[in-house]
Structure 1
């Protein structure tokens, strides 16, 4: 298995190919790859991303079958099932890198901000509110700053605050993950995908040179 730094570099290189339109996926032999993967898998990175249809991790990072262990949920939030999924991949496959991948114009963040600014008179679905309530703590404090007067800036900061909160929850959400991080066997970073440019900006928890 490659190191976390190597995994990160592989994702960055793949995203650059995606942005430049030089994806290598079309040239892969999916049939032979699919056959090889029936014996097992060794994903080199875990991606906890948003369920938004515009942010498919394999395409955004130009990776193929078996390369990524992808967990998708609205708002890239962290709940017990997501923690368990990360634990499973990290411990079972030795995957060294977790990327919490948010994105611009995130609907879950928008819904949370709307709820904070103008609570709906009609009760929202309990299931929908379970997502909003997990996003809420990371961005509530932003409403107490001058950002509340600049909606676009507020949304930008809220999206990144939500990514940071999810990454931090993963780092401290289980004894197993904490142990892997402390032993240098797992790196957890936060990133944001731009719907406008296709670029992924890694901004939280990056290793220091």
Structure 2
């Protein structure tokens, strides 16, 4: 009888240990997926090339849009370019020939270069909460295009933007109060819903509408406030487009290309 009890206890201990071992194992599918991505990166040729003046001169605005779209697809599908950043740093120390300038929100969840799979020296990035244009941002865009040769200007907003939500709710805090007022025209321009109770940051549909309207209004404002950029658009030297980044998927949708 005692022997049976000991045997039973050992069996329980062994089974318990086995259960614990199985519970500590990683999901085979997760391991396989992670290994596949890692192997893919290791198999890629390491890119050391950086944008040159010759590269930049060959580009058209539409080619740059297509390049950013392709880069975003790589980002979404975990196929980012394998770059030697140290070598790119060395190669760009004497000059830069970016293909685009992108104005984005400051949101930490929108890493612009990563989102478009761009390397060192590929794009200019300007950032301000709410991605609106002002004199400083417009001057930066003029420098990037007229002087540095970039072929594309992108104004990019994003899903669930805190600055837009703050503007909708008329939040006030130090200098942030003045900043959020720059987004008020977009809030006012979205006519529906009309009920005040629905025009709040809790209404996701309304927030999305204001985010998109804010992008479009700033595209218009860019052309109005910058004769330099407007002339370049008229001459076909550059394009100015809007884009919206989905925090849930990593997808960038271009609005008016």
Which aligned segments of 4 or more residues in structure 1 are displaced greater than 6 angstroms?
Answer: none
The count of aligned residue pairs is 195
The Cα offsets for residues 124-167 of structure 1, whole Å up to 9 and x where unpaired, read as 31x2122111100122132x422653711101100000011111
Structure 1 distance, partners of 2:100, 2:72, is 14
Superposition deviation, residue 31 in structure 1: 2.0
> SS of the residue aligned with 2:93?
helix
Counterpart check, 1:95 vs 2:143: no
- Give the alignment's Cα RMSD to 1 decimal: 1.4
> SS of the residue aligned with 2:130?
helix
Counterpart for residue 86 of structure 1: 141
Counterpart check, 1:10 vs 2:67: yes
- TM-score, normalized by length of structure 1? 0.89
Counterpart check, 1:170 vs 2:170: no
Structure 1 distance, partners of 2:68, 2:90, is 24
Instruction: Point out where structure 2 has 5 or more consecutive residues left out of the alignment.
Output: 1-55
Counterpart check, 1:53 vs 2:108: yes
Counterpart for residue 195 of structure 1: 247
The one of the two structures with greater contact order (alpha-carbon pairs below 8 A, sep at least 6) is 1
Structure 1 distance, partners of 2:181, 2:193, is 23
- TM-score, normalized by length of structure 2? 0.73
The 8 Å contact of residues 106 and 129 in structure 2, kept in 1 or not, is answered as: yes
Structure 2 distance, partners of 1:45, 1:178, is 16
Counterpart for residue 153 of structure 1: 205
> SS of the residue aligned with 1:170?
helix
> After the TM superposition, which residues 12-161 of structure 1 pair with which residues of structure 2 at under 5 Å, given as runs?
12-24=69-81, 27-115=82-170, 124-125=173-174, 127-142=175-190, 144-146=191-193, 148=195, 149=198, 151-161=203-213
Instruction: Point out where structure 1 has 5 or more consecutive residues left out of the alignment.
Output: none
Counterpart for residue 180 of structure 1: 232
Structure 1 distance, partners of 2:179, 2:239, is 25
For the pair shown, the structure with the greater C-alpha radius of gyration is 2
Structure 1 distance, partners of 2:125, 2:85, is 18
Say if 1:147 and 1:41 are closer, same or farther in 2 by CA, change over 3 A: farther
Structure 2 distance, partners of 1:29, 1:75, is 33
Say if 1:139 and 1:31 are closer, same or farther in 2 by CA, change over 3 A: same
> SS of the residue aligned with 1:38?
coil
Structure 2 distance, partners of 1:9, 1:145, is 34
Structure 2 distance, partners of 1:99, 1:50, is 12
Superposition deviation, residue 102 in structure 1: 0.3
